[in-house]
Amino acid sequence: MNLLESLLTGLDEARRHWGQTVLSLLGLVLGTGSIVTVLALFGGQTAITEQFLSEVGGRGTIIVYDRESSARPRARELASKRLTFRDAQYLRDRATTLTAVSPGWSEELPYRAGDVSFDGEVVGTVPDYMVINDITPMIGRYLSDLDVRHQARVAVLGWKYADSLFGRAGDALGQIVSLGGKSYTVVGVLEREEFYFAAWEDNALEYRNERAYIPISTAIAQHSATDRLDFLTLKARPSAGGAAAQAQVKSLLYARHGVEDFDIRMSGQGAGDDSGQFLLLFNFIFLVVGIVSLVTGGIVIANILLASVVERVREFGTRMALGATAGAIFAQVLAEVLVVTIMGGLLGLGLGAALTGVVAHFMQMPAVVSPFIATVSLTTALTVGLVAGLFPALRASRLAPVEALRYA
Amino acid sequence: MLIEARGLAKTYRLGQVDVQALRGVDVDVGAGEYIAITGPSGSGKSTLMHILGCLDTPSTGSYRLDGEDVGSLSGKRLAHVRNRKVGFVFQTFNLMPRLTVEENVALPLKYRGGVPRGERRARALALLERLGLGDRIGHRPDELSGGERQRVAIARALVGTPAILMADEPTGNLDSRAGAEVLATFAELHAAGHTIVLVTHDPGVAGRAQRVIQMSDGRVV
Ligand SMILES: Nc1ncnc2c1ncn2[C@@H]1O[C@H](COP(=O)(O)OP(=O)(O)OP(=O)(O)O)[C@@H](O)[C@H]1O
Ligand SMILES: [Mg+2]
């Protein structure tokens, strides 16, 4: 009997005990299905994070925060001037990996216009900030270099605050708003920004609608006793890459401060963390189910279908008595396993695609089973099958005919 | 001589104890003989039969089958000998439950290789006709009576035109009528020139053979 015929015998056997075959497929189908779903959801999540990043100014935006001072600061920490306007200038001069540096100041201040008043965030910054963060005015303009140089009392309002203060966002232009008791002329209103990581999530960009931007020079002169900054927004040179820029900024600032009294973060890091956490749990469950199912599936295949079933071993014994060589038995068993695995993998792929569709529909998130995912999951299923099948195939083919015939 | 076995011994090791299933057996079988091996249970009949059928190897002793020294053959060559020289019939029939009668009978030719499908079929059909099973070719084994199953198994054993037909208790699982049918088949085959060795502990069955080899406690007596 040649290899082809042994393989055909294996195929035939898989076809003939169909019920058993389908049963032994179950684990494999579930396993493959779960893995497909995990990969698809994970892919969707990655895609949506990528989309969010491009929405907030793209990759390569780095933010340096002033760190809360420790409860009992040491001498070194006390000696540091902390994050200042000068750091911004210093980075602009020295950090070769950066294309833009924007100092920032931020404070919770009372807003008032007419009889509307509330507390909200006021951000002092420079024109570069708009470029780095991809901010677009809906009407009017953003802050200018001139505003910064002359400590102008001008403000650019986020969409929501403009709307709350003046009834309609579009009506805010040219009006006077009081921020922290000082009057500012509204020179621009920003576009409304929205981004949802998942259907059940809040607008991830709402904080941008609830803000006013004023020149950093004005902010420090009018509302601050010191020249300390709250953050620096930096843009990495694309050729340098975010990680390299982050490292350079860290070492430069450390050299100046003599202590690490700042935190550095990539923009979008932690973006969508809440929905991400939920998804992570979700993916984790699916992944565990997937792996457990695959392993179980493999064991089931190795067991039920093959050499530990008495009836099957005796059958191999009979085949040997009729003249089957060890190689023929091996090929038959392996062929059976492969057929079963390929079918299980394909069914699992179908199940995974269906499951992905259902999950994506109910959670309103993007998730697709790409050719890559299909390839990965089928390869996984096939590997499990091969590993599971190799052992029983070897065992069956190594039996002496009498042993196999007497097997009980 | 078709079979020349000298000093066959087989020892099984069961934990600390050695079980001597065969203690030095000489067997000669000439072409065209019809031989029955009998003896009480545990006397080593099956053990001897398995060695003669190349399903097992002796611990010591020499065995020539159809002029070939079987003791020195590799596993692959032994499979070859089983396929070409020996037709083995089991007490429990050992048919493939999912194959049809015809597919079962043709199986040894499949393992032989190089026999075209049409010829495999034709040879299986011819044998089944000859054994009175021509109307059963498409059936599965579980649709047949015990006697019919054993005759299918005999057809399967014969399809490769072996030098010798061996059967271990071929009537052991059959009622007397079906047993008689099977014995009649053996008688016909013997008359047609086939060499037959069968194992039985039924004196009635042994009595149909030309020659009886009586075994006791691993020896021929
Ligand atoms: N695989 C084995 N392992 C250990 N002992 C064995 C094995 N096979 C057979 N024996 C022992 O060898 C002896 C001969 O066994 P064998 O099967 O040849 O007897 P038998 O004459 O065919 O008996 P029966 O008429 O019951 O079929 C017995 O004592 C048996 O227990
Ligand atoms: Mg016996």
Whether residue A295 is predicted with pLDDT greater than 90 in this model: the reply is no
State whether residue A398 sits within 8 Å of chain B by CB.
Answer: no
Residue A405 CA, ligand 1 centroid: distance in Å:
13
Kind of pairing, strands A176-179 and A137-140? unpaired
Picking from B56, B83, B98, the nearest residue to A323 by CB comes out as B83
Give the Cα separation of B219 and B221 in Å (integer). 6
Whether residue B163 is predicted with pLDDT greater than 80 in this model: the reply is yes
Q: How far is B108 from chain A (nearest CA, A)?
A: 5
Whether residue A213 is predicted with pLDDT greater than 70 in this model: the reply is yes
CB contact under 8 A, B98 and A401: no
Per the structure, how many domains does chain A have?
Answer: 2
Q: Which residues, other chains included, contact B114 with Cβ-Cβ below 8 Å and sequence gap of 6+?
A: none
Does one domain contain both A154 and A208? yes
Run of H or E including B138? none
Q: How confident is the model at residue A208 (pLDDT cuts 50, 70, 90)?
A: confident
Least confident interval from A165-174, A198-207, B80-89: A198-207
Q: Which residues, other chains included, contact A270 with Cβ-Cβ below 8 Å and sequence gap of 6+?
A: none
With 0-12 / 13-18 / 19 or more C-beta atoms within 10 angstroms meaning exposed / middle / buried, residue A277 is exposed
Give the Cα separation of A105 and A86 in Å (integer). 14
Does one domain contain both A97 and A238? yes
CB contact under 8 A, B56 and A318: no
Picking from A9, A323, A400, the nearest residue to B80 by CB comes out as A323
Of A59 and B214, the one with more pLDDT: B214
3-class DSSP assignment, residue A188: strand
Whether residue A274 is predicted with pLDDT greater than 60 in this model: the reply is no
Does one domain contain both A170 and A42? no
Query: Is B213:B37 a contact under the CB 8 Å cutoff?
Result: yes
Among A270, A296, A326, the domain-final residue is: A270
Query: Is A61:A267 a contact under the CB 8 Å cutoff?
Result: yes
Does one domain contain both A134 and A13? no
Q: State the alpha helices, DSSP H only, in A95-215.
A: 128-133, 145-149, 159-166, 206-209
Neighbours of A263 (CB within 10 A): 13
Residues of chain B positioned with their CB less than 8 A from the CB of A9:
110
Give the Cα separation of A199 and A367 in Å (integer). 14
* Identity of the amino acid at A204: A
> Which pair of structure tokens corresponds to residue B118?
């049409």
Least confident interval from A73-87, A136-150, B169-183: A73-87
Q: In three state form, how does the secondary structure of chain A look?
A: CCHHHHHHHHHHHHHHCHHHHHHHHHHHHHHHHHHHHHHHHHHHHHHHHHHHHHHCCCCCEEEEEECCCCCCCCHHHHHCCCCEHHHHHHHHHHCCCEEEEEEEEEEEEEEEECCEEEEEEEEEECCHHHHHHCCCEEEECCCCHHHHHCCCCEEEECHHHHHHHHCCHHHHCCCEEEECCEEEEEEEEECCCCCCCCCCCCCCCHHHHCEEEEEHHHHHHHHCCCCECCEEEEEECCCCCHHHHHHHHHHHHHHHHCCCCEEEEECCCCCCHHHHHHHHHHHHHHHHHHHHHHHHHHHHHHHHHCCCCHHHHHHHHHHHHCCCCHHHHHHHHHHHHHHHHHHHHHHHHHHHHHHHHHHHHHHCCCCCCCHHHHHHHHHHHHHHHHHHHHHHHHHHHHCCHHHHHHCC
Least confident interval from A28-32, A143-147, B97-101: A28-32
Mean pLDDT in residue range B105-129: 94
pLDDT at A298: 73
Q: State the alpha helices, DSSP H only, in B87-216.
A: 101-112, 117-130, 146-158, 176-191, 203-206
Give the burial string for A29-41 (b: 16+ CB within 10 Å, else e): bbbbbbbbbbbbb
Of B51 and A56, the one with more pLDDT: B51
Does one domain contain both A257 and A155? yes
Query: Is B198:B33 a contact under the CB 8 Å cutoff?
Result: no
Mean pLDDT in residue range B81-104: 94
pLDDT at A367: 77
Query: Is B178:B150 a contact under the CB 8 Å cutoff?
Result: yes
Least confident interval from A27-41, A233-247, A276-290, B129-143: A276-290
The model's pLDDT over A330-339, given as tens digits with 9 standing for 90+, comes to: 888 888 778 7
Ligand 1 interacting residues, C-beta cut-off 6 A: B 12, 14, 19, 21, 39, 41-47, 201
pLDDT at A58: 66
**What pairs with residue A84 in β-bridges?**
A228
Give the Cα separation of A20 and A306 in Å (integer). 11
* Identity of the amino acid at A303: N
Percentage of chain B surpassing pLDDT 90?
A: 92
Does one domain contain both A377 and A241? no
Q: How confident is the model at residue A364 (pLDDT cuts 50, 70, 90)?
A: confident
Q: How far is A305 from chain B (nearest CA, A)?
A: 14
Whether residue B193 is predicted with pLDDT greater than 80 in this model: the reply is yes
Of B121 and A289, the one with more pLDDT: B121
pLDDT at A89: 87
Whether residue B165 is predicted with pLDDT greater than 80 in this model: the reply is yes
Among A238, A270, A302, the domain-final residue is: A270
Q: Which residue of A has its CA nearest to B112?
A: A1
pLDDT at A1: 53
Ligand 1 atom closest to the Cα of residue B201 is 25
Does one domain contain both A230 and A91? yes
The model's pLDDT over A111-132, given as tens digits with 9 standing for 90+, comes to: 998 889 999 999 999 998 888 8
Ligand 1 atom closest to the Cα of residue B10 is 12
Mean pLDDT in residue range A270-295: 66
Mean pLDDT in residue range A166-179: 89
Does one domain contain both A143 and A266? yes
Least confident interval from A68-72, A277-281, A364-368, B7-11: A277-281
Give the Cα separation of A90 and A220 in Å (integer). 19
> Which pair of structure tokens corresponds to residue A169?
């966002």
pLDDT at B71: 85
Q: How confident is the model at residue A360 (pLDDT cuts 50, 70, 90)?
A: confident
Q: How far is CA A200 from CA A51, A204, A229, A362, in A?
A: 18, 11, 35, 10
A46, A52, A54, A56 alpha-carbon torsion, rounded to 10°:
-150
Percentage of chain A surpassing pLDDT 70?
A: 88
Among A241, A270, A299, the domain-final residue is: A270
Mean pLDDT in residue range B120-136: 94
Domain that holds residue A339: 3-53+274-404
Mean pLDDT in residue range B177-204: 94
Q: Report the nearest-CA residue for atom 31 of ligand 1.
A: B42
Query: Is B142:B96 a contact under the CB 8 Å cutoff?
Result: no
Residues of chain B positioned with their CB less than 8 A from the CB of A401:
50, 55-56, 82
The model's pLDDT over A226-247, given as tens digits with 9 standing for 90+, comes to: 878 888 888 888 887 778 888 8
Does one domain contain both A170 and A243? yes
Least confident interval from A20-34, A188-202, B106-120, B179-193: A20-34
Q: How confident is the model at residue A69 (pLDDT cuts 50, 70, 90)?
A: confident
Whether residue A275 is predicted with pLDDT greater than 60 in this model: the reply is no
Phi, psi at B36, each rounded to 5°? -115, 130
pLDDT at A29: 83
Does one domain contain both A287 and A199? no
Whether residue A255 is predicted with pLDDT greater than 90 in this model: the reply is no
Q: How confident is the model at residue A307 (pLDDT cuts 50, 70, 90)?
A: very low
**What distance, in Å, lies between the first and last C-alpha atoms of chain B?**
21
Mean pLDDT in residue range B61-77: 92
Mean pLDDT in residue range A180-200: 87
Q: How confident is the model at residue A306 (pLDDT cuts 50, 70, 90)?
A: low
Does one domain contain both A233 and A265? yes
Give the Cα separation of B44 and A71 in Å (integer). 92
Mean pLDDT in residue range B39-54: 95
Q: How confident is the model at residue A309 (pLDDT cuts 50, 70, 90)?
A: low
Does one domain contain both A154 and A20? no
pLDDT at A308: 46
